């Protein structure tokens, strides 16, 4: 029994949905199908989720939104027409959108959750209807009816343990079950969404709940690559990798999965296969708990921009008990999490994500560090990026850091910070945003100089 999740690019048009239906029906083990909202049909197109955000924000601002509403309805009408479906499914979707716009707009986060979740929900309805129209036994399953219960935290839902027992009961249903991704329901019967990209999280949760033998994640590439193919020409494909490697790479900016997406599958020891909707015969990338190590200790390189550093200097800082705790408490008071804390004897740095900061928060943090901690100096530095080498084999290999720093030096990339993860699965470097692409190329040339498929 398999769970197959299809991303937005796989479901962007009627032609793509026909490909998906062929994939679903080609394997009788594909009983559970999790779907995203329709994505872009071409580079100039707009994702349905972005159209829905425009719809919700326009309504909150103007108390009406007929034009953005019709943009969404027309996307679904175009899909339904291409699939040969009657207009009544389009009317069902329009009525659903109007009912969501009638939700209480005073709680902005919950209102937007309602609007955004309609992308996946209505796409699931269309896909189920299409499968039925071509003679396939298929049903749309609403997450609330499936018992997909989550925490009551809008935009950041976490699955509740009891959801898995409810989902297991879906095994008893006949036919193919089409489940919308991205959202669940709280115990208070309120719709709550996962972080954006959360359809992958739904797929992983469903796979764990129904105890699937395999979770297939269909996207628009043949496999996961060792580096960003928009930066490195024709990078190596990764044939097999571990959950830890995938999570580290996702955290560091790999675009394949949200960094939380695979945790339910990982905990249930369910393998994940990344496959291409447009080339389903390709073997894809298997993500598993453990793997044999290839000769190359590094399996992938990822980078993410958008970081700032708080630099703090105080003479004999290392002798002052509790200094680090007090510093992090100041940051915590502003509702900010940190990424890394490289330290010296008289100075330390705290690396943060830019999107958590505002000029007011920055000013307040620096003021408190100077006045409460007695720092000799404290200031923010901007425009940093984190670049990460990942590989289970790194901890058994001498000289990885030396090779990496040499490669960066040869590309004239200045290293601001180095951090070795305690698990030794990752090695990260802080560099300036402007150096990211040449840093990726330099590291790729160093660790993947011979073209091969990674095992």
Binding residues for substrate: 49, 120
Distances in whole angstroms, Cα of residue 193 to Cα of each of 92, 181, 190, 201? 22, 9, 10, 10
What mean pLDDT comes out for the span 316-323?
90
What mean pLDDT comes out for the span 69-74?
96
Binding residues for ATP: 5-8, 219-220
Binding residues: 5-8, 49, 120, 219-220
Q: At residue 453, does pLDDT exceed 50?
A: no
Domains belonging to the chain, first-starting first, are 2-220 (3.40.1160.10), 300-447 (3.30.2130.10)
Q: At residue 324, does pLDDT exceed 70?
A: yes
Q: At residue 259, does pLDDT exceed 70?
A: no
Tens-place pLDDT, residues 370-426: 999 999 999 999 999 999 999 988 887 888 999 999 999 999 999 988 887 666 788
Tens-place pLDDT, residues 12-28: 999 999 999 999 999 99
Q: At residue 452, does pLDDT exceed 70?
A: no
pTM comes to 0.84
Q: At residue 292, does pLDDT exceed 90?
A: no
């Amino acid at each position: 029994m398999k769970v197959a999740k299809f991303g937005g690019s796989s479901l962007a048009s009627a032609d793509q949905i026909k490909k998906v239906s062929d994939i679903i029906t080609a394997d009788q083990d594909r009983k559970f199908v999790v779907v995203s909202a329709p994505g872009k049909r071409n580079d100039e197109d707009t994702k349905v989720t972005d159209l829905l955000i425009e719809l919700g924000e326009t309504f909150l601002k103007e108390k009406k939104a007929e034009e953005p509403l019709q943009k969404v309805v027309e996307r679904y009408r175009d899909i339904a027409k291409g699939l040969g479906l009657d207009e009544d499914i389009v009317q069902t979707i329009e009525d659903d959108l109007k009912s969501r716009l009638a939700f209480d707009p005073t709680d902005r986060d919950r209102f937007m959750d309602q609007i955004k979740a309609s992308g996946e929900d209505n796409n699931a309805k269309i896909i189920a209807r299409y499968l039925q129209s071509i003679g396939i036994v298929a049903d749309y399953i609403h997450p609330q009816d499936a018992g997909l219960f989550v925490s009551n935290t809008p935009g950041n839902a976490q699955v509740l343990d009891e959801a898995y027992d409810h989902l297991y009961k879906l095994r008893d249903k006949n036919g193919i079950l089409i489940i919308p991704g991205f959202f669940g329901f709280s115990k208070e019967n309120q719709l709550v969404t996962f972080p954006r990209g959360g359809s992958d999280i739904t797929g992983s949760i469903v796979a764990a709940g129904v105890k699937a033998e395999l979770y297939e994640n269909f996207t628009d590439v043949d496999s996961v690559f060792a580096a960003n193919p928009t930066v490195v020409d024709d990078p190596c494909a990764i044939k097999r990798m571990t959950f830890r490697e995938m999570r580290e790479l996702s955290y560091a900016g790999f675009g394949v999965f949200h960094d939380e997406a695979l945790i339910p599958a990982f905990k249930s020891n369910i393998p994940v296969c990344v496959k291409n909707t447009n080339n389903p015969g390709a073997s894809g990338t298997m993500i598993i708990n453990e793997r044999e190590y290839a000769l190359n200790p590094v399996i992938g390189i990822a980078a993410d921009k958008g970081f700032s550093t708080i630099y703090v200097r105080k003479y004999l800082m290392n002798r002052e008990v509790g200094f680090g705790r007090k510093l992090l408490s100041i940051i915590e008071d502003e509702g900010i999490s940190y990424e890394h804390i490289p330290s010296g004897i008289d100075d330390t740095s705290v690396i943060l994500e830019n999107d958590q900061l505002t000029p007011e928060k920055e000013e307040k943090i620096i003021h408190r560090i100077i006045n409460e901690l007695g720092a000799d100096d404290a200031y923010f530095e901007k425009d940093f990026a984190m670049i990460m080498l990942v590989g289970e084999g790194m901890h058994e290999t001498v000289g990885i850091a030396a090779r990496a720093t040499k490669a960066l030096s040869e590309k004239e990339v200045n290293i601001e910070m180095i951090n070795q993860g305690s698990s030794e699965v990752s090695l990260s470097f802080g560099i300036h945003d402007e150096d990211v692409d040449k840093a990726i190329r330099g590291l790729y040339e160093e660790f993947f100089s011979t073209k091969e498929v990674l095992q």
